C-alpha cells in the first residue's frame, strides 16, 4: 500500500499549477482566466493531501484542503456575479477592453 513516492505527487501538482498559470495568462476571456485559477487551486490541494498522508492522526493537510475548497466555491460565485455585471455594462468578456481608467 502507498508505494508511490511523495515527489511524484508534488511533480504532478507542479505541472497542473504551471498549466493553470499559463491558462490564466493566455486566455483573453474572464471565464477562461477563472478556469486557470481553479486549476491552480486544485494543484495546491494535491500538495496538501500528499503531505497529509504522513499525518493520519490529525489530518491537518486534508482540513486545509477542505477550507481551500470552501474558499474556492465562494470565490467563483462572486467572480461570476461580477463578470455578469461587467458584461452587462461593457458588453464584453475581454479583460483588455475593460480599460476605462487607462483612457
Partner 1 sequence: MEAAAFYSFSILAIISALFILFSKNLIYGAFALFLTFLGVAALYVLAGADFLAVTQIMVYVGGILVLMIFGIMLTQKASKDTTSTTPNRVEVLLSREFWGFLTGTGFFIFLGYIILDSQFKMTGDIISSKSTIRTIGVELMTSHLLPFEIAAILLLVALIGAAYLALNRNPAQ
Minimum CB distance to partner 1, residue 99 (Å): 15
- Binding of partner 1 by 99 (CB under 8 A): no
Q: Which of 1, 101, 102, 103 binds partner 1 (CB under 8 A)?
A: 1
Provide CB contacts within 8 A for 4, sequence distance 6+. none
Q: How big is the CA angle at 14 (ends 13 and 20), to the nearest 5 degrees?
A: 90
Provide the CA 56 distance to its chain's centre, in angstroms.
Answer: 26
Residue 97 binds to partner 1 (criterion: CB under 8 A): no
Per CB under 8 A, 91 contacts partner 1 = yes
Of 98, 89, 100, 93, the closest CA to residue 27 belongs to 93
Q: How far is the CB of 69 from partner 1 (least distance, A)?
A: 5
In the chain, where does DSSP find H-type helix? Answer: 6-26, 30-52, 60-90
Q: What's the min distance (Å) between Cβ of 101 and partner 1? A: 20
Q: Which of residues 28-87 bind partner 1 (CB under 8 A)?
A: 28-32, 34-36, 38-39, 42, 45-46, 49-50, 52-59, 62-63, 65-67, 69-78, 80-85, 87
Amino acid at each position: 500500500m502507498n508505494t508511490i513516492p511523495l515527489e511524484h505527487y508534488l511533480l504532478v501538482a507542479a505541472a497542473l499549477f504551471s498549466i493553470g498559470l499559463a491558462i490564466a495568462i493566455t486566455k483573453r476571456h474572464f471565464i477562461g482566466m477563472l478556469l486557470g485559477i481553479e486549476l491552480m487551486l486544485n494543484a495546491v490541494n494535491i500538495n496538501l493531501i500528499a503531505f497529509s498522508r504522513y499525518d493520519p492522526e490529525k489530518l491537518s493537510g486534508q482540513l486545509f484542503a477542505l477550507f481551500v475548497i470552501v474558499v474556492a466555491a465562494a470565490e467563483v460565485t462572486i467572480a461570476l456575479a461580477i463578470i455578469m455585471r461587467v458584461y452587462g455594462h461593457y458588453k464584453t468578456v475581454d479583460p483588455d477592453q475593460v480599460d476605462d481608467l487607462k483612457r
